[in-house]
A = this chain, B = another copy of it.
Amino acid sequence: MKLPSAATGLFLGTAAATPLSLRSSTLNYNMAPPNLSTLPNNSLYETWRPRAHVLPPNGQIGDPCMHYTDPATGVFHVGWLHDSAGIAGATTSDLATYTDLNPNGGQAIVPGGINDPVGVFDGSVIPSGINGLPTLLYTSVSYLPIHWSIPYTRGSETQSLAVTTDSGRNFTKLDQGPVIPGPPFAANVTAFRDPYVFQNTQLDTLTSSQSNTWYTVISGGIHNQGPTQFLYRQYDPDFQYWEYLGQWWSEPTNSTWGDGTWAGRWGFNFETGNVFSLNEEGYTADGEIFGTLGTEGSDLPIVKQLTSIHDQLWVAGSVAKNTNGSVEFTPSMAGFLDWGFSSYAASGKVLPATSKPSTQSGAPDRYISYVWLTGDQYGQAEGFPTNQQNWTGALLLPRELKVQSLDVVDNALSREEGASWRVESNNTDAGTVELRTLGISIARETEAKLLSGKPSVEAGRTVSSAGVLPFQHSPESKFFVLKTNISFPASARQSGLQTGFQILASESEHTSIYYQFANESVVIDRSNTSAAAQTTSGIDSFTESGKLRLFDVLDGGEESVETLDLTIVVDNSILEVYANGRFALSTWVRSWYANSTEIRFLHNGVGQATFSNVTVSEGLYNAWPERA
């Protein structure tokens, strides 16, 4: 290709003649970048590529799905939509390193059959399905476009089966029509996709089903009514028929949980609904029912075929029969599984204690969820150097979900309604309440491996003046985990305090991560994250944030503000911020300069905060040791 003048002098040597081998090593990260979308294809491949995350060798990753533990091997399979042309996947025995199922990360199932001439959307796996083999129930797509903002073309989405006989490398479609050939009769749906299979003791009892019956929820909505989940039940041993049990959960169009503060919007349409049941250890079939889901919302006015808001939520609730005798799910709390703008379409799966990862780590039955981090703002990042990078998006680190219990002071902060927690019980004598919420943390094996890098301990300190203070030992690379605790005096609550870090910092770039009490938020200010954002329209720089309430807790009889417990993972361009075992906020931080690796304490001079247990583990591991 003919290089535009802006790129002149940027390249060293003659690599431009061999674009496939032209990797970022030939780019100069010590000078300002050109408009990156003018560079040769593949030239940015290494620039922002993460090391410890799940993503295909190249191309676009979409929704995670099709995860399962192979009963024959105990190995965990992770899948994802790939290049809008089916589902690819990999296996892992340790939740840290992965092996592609197919050469070059090729798909295990592709569209083009009779049931799915134009698309294969998300599916989920019954590990011991037809003939005891892993069996995929997926959305077979016949007509496009599909979007909640336009009339639904009947028959666009049906649910079909495919089975693997080669340990997941290929899922062979049954030579027959869909097993769920359409939405319920005359339902004017906004979508009807992403079947998620699960087992649940409470549903078995409520619906008088055999033990270990499989259920599936299908995500979507009804035009002019709102988003919904359609519930079905396995009808026969061959999974040929799925009995419709009703819209077990519906919300009014574009309504919110509470006032929307803690769980965004239910939006116009549900996607990628997962249903599972948890206790404080992890997964249990008779635990409290939780779900994760993507909600499609929109700013006003609605632009057809454009969802401007994608919220990745979780929900917990109870099931009961309604007056019609149908099963109904009623939320008791809801929140964000990840607050990031680009975080969406989470898909998880039960990981049994008998699985290979768990037998090695000694973990109990767990529920492991992978969240998608879109690399190009859901395709809306105009000017993003897609061809130059030659890969788009990634999955966030696997997360263990469980019930989190908190003993906190019984006050207005803990008693708020419509929040992402609920009061389980109260201790009048102590003046405390026990709260329940969803526990979200990096899977234990993954985190252990992340922390196995070169450790360095930074001295704790109390900050009170405005400014930044560089670490004594900043990382030399853009691959590290930063952990810390930050404690605040009670006076911080009503103040304008902002405390945290700058990371990926140099004289030219930095990303600020801080907590502020003003709106109880963890904020990631990316306005100076990347020099490339100045030259390339597709590199976003808007501020990300998520709400985290630090409750009042009793510490030796004294009330104090709950300590902020941060785990910050930087995997080159992917930033994941975890807090207090119940908060996650992830985004892209595409720093350009090679020397943008500094970490700095950050404080805005309002009040004070104390950092402790500040450690950095540098290096991370290579999640794909078998890739060339």
Contact = CB atoms under 8 A, between A and B. Distances in A.
A241 B188 CA distance: 11
A176 interface: yes
Interface string A107-125: 0000000110100000000
A154 B179 contact: yes
Interface of A: 114-115, 117, 142-143, 153-156, 158, 175-179, 181-182, 185-186, 235-236, 240-241, 243-244
Contact of A236 (B153, B178, B186, B243): B186
Contacts of A143: 114, 175-177
How would you classify the secondary structure of chain A's contact residues: helix, strand, loop or mixed?
loop
Number of copies of chain A assembled together: 2
A143 B156 CA distance: 19
Contact of A181 (B155, B235, B236): B155
A8 to B, nearest CB: 50
Contact of A154 (B117, B155, B176): B176
A455 B155 CA distance: 59
A185 B178 CA distance: 12
Contacts of A243: 185-186
B182 A155 contact: no
Nearest to A160: B155
A153 B177 contact: yes
Contact of A175 (B153, B176, B182, B186): B153
A142 B236 CA distance: 23
18 contacts: A114-B117, A114-B142, A115-B155, A143-B177, A153-B176, A153-B177, A154-B176, A154-B178, A154-B240, A155-B176, A155-B177, A156-B177, A158-B177, A158-B181, A177-B182, A181-B181, A186-B241, A186-B243
Given A142-B114, A143-B176, A177-B142, A235 B155 contact: no
Contacts of A175: 143, 153
Contacts of A241: 185-186
A190 to B, nearest CB: 15
A182 B176 CA distance: 12
Given A114-B117, A117-B114, A181 B179 contact: no
Contacts of A179: 154
Interface pairs A-B: 4 shortest CB-CB: A155-B177, A181-B181, A181-B182, A154-B176
A485 to B, nearest CB: 56
Nearest to A157: B177
Contacts of A177: 142-143, 153-156, 158, 182
A175 B185 CA distance: 19
A142 B143 CA distance: 16
Contacts of A114: 117, 142-143
A192 to B, nearest CB: 11
Contacts of A115: 142, 155
A243 B142 CA distance: 23
A470 to B, nearest CB: 61
Nearest to A240: B154
A178 B114 CA distance: 13
Contacts of A142: 114-115, 177
Contacts of A155: 115, 176-178, 181
Contacts of A154: 176-179, 240
A161 to B, nearest CB: 10
A175 B158 CA distance: 16
A289 to B, nearest CB: 26
Nearest to A187: B241
Contacts of A117: 114
